[in-house]
Amino acid sequence: MSTNDHAWLGLSGARIAVVGAAGAIGAAVSTALRAAGAQVHGLDREPRAPGDGLFASWDAIDLDDVDGAVAALRRLTGRIGAPDGLVIASGLYPARRFSEHPAAEVERLMRINALAPAALLNAYADALGAPDAAAASDAPAAPAGGPGGSAVVTSSLAASRLKIGTAAYSASKAALDVLVQTLALERHVDGLRANIVAPGYVSAGSELNAIPGGYEEKLLSGALTPRLAVPDDLVDTYLWLLSPRSAWVNGAVVPVDGGNRLGTPESTAWLG
């Protein structure tokens, strides 16, 4: 999309931090933000930014180390002040029956998918609430009621739609939803506005989250829509939630799943 496509959002000049910027969704959101005129600051477990000039800065971050992840965000806010927006587009998806999950793996999943994102939101709210935050930022992405910032966190349809093999993942995303919504309530006084994007399955070719052979074909055969989602299907929702155009939206879970949470016309029904 061109800058003009997103001009109505008012994100030109906004400083947006994107956690998981090297991942498929994070990269797509970052590209769209840059096209909209925003200044994008990437954070990812990859130590170096892609060499395309997309990012104004780059910091290494590891969500498996909650304290270290918070320190990485604080290094960024120490350099640029509180960003106008924060995107968290990272996560881990190990498919396994719960009875086969080692406890350590479940704990790691909770750290990466729920605890670390919540800690980052809390640290972001700290930066927004600092005495000099309002003076340091022209915050075009301010929430309703005054200066502040908008956070958009990536959850999943799996938080509410369960499948065999996703118990720990679904639990981590459900926990994330509760934590984000609670922080939207607790930290609103500091200028935090926080919302959740809940995608369905996204075909992204992730090396971190390997997909079993034939899975996408089976998924597509039972989908409401005639194709699988790709990262670009999600980006407009992220940008809208970051922007002042969504200023009256706070603590919401926005499904972006092509309607697949609804079932399909072929689902078992009383009408036969």
Domain boundaries, the chain: 3-257
What would the mean pLDDT of 81-94 be, rounded to a whole number?
A: 93
For residues 155 and 198, is the Cβ–Cβ distance under 8 A?
yes
Q: What is the pLDDT of residues 25-78, one digit of tens each?
A: 999 999 999 999 999 999 999 888 777 789 999 999 999 999 999 999 999 999
Q: What is the mean pLDDT of the chain?
A: 85
CA atoms of 132 and 5, how far apart (whole Å): 33
3-class secondary structure for the chain?
CCHHHHHHHCCCCCEEEEECCCCHHHHHHHHHHHHCCCEEEEEECCCCCCCCCCCCEEEECCCCCHHHHHHHHHHHHHHHCCCCEEEECCCCCCCCCHHHCCHHHHHHHHHHHHHHHHHHHHHHHHHHHCCCHHHHCCCCCCCCCCCCEEEEEECCHHHCCCCCCCHHHHHHHHHHHHHHHHHHHHCHHHCEEEEEEEECCECCCCCCCCCCCCHHHHHHHCCCCCCCECHHHCHHHHHHHHCHHHCCCCCCEEEECCCHHHCCCCCCCCCC
For the stretch 217-247, pLDDT in tens is 666 656 667 778 789 999 999 999 999 999 9
pTM, 2 dp: 0.87
Instruction: Specify the pLDDT at position 145.
Output: 35
Q: Which of 31-40, 64-73, 114-123, 135-144 has the lowest mean pLDDT?
A: 135-144
Which one is predicted more confidently, 119 or 95? 119
**Is the model more confident about 12 or about 147?**
12
- Domain 3-257, what fold? Rossmann fold (3.40.50)
- Give me the phi and psi of 194, to 5 degrees please: -130, 130
pLDDT tens column, 149-194: 999 999 998 888 887 778 899 999 999 999 999 999 999 999 999 9
204 near 233, Cβ under 8 Å?
no
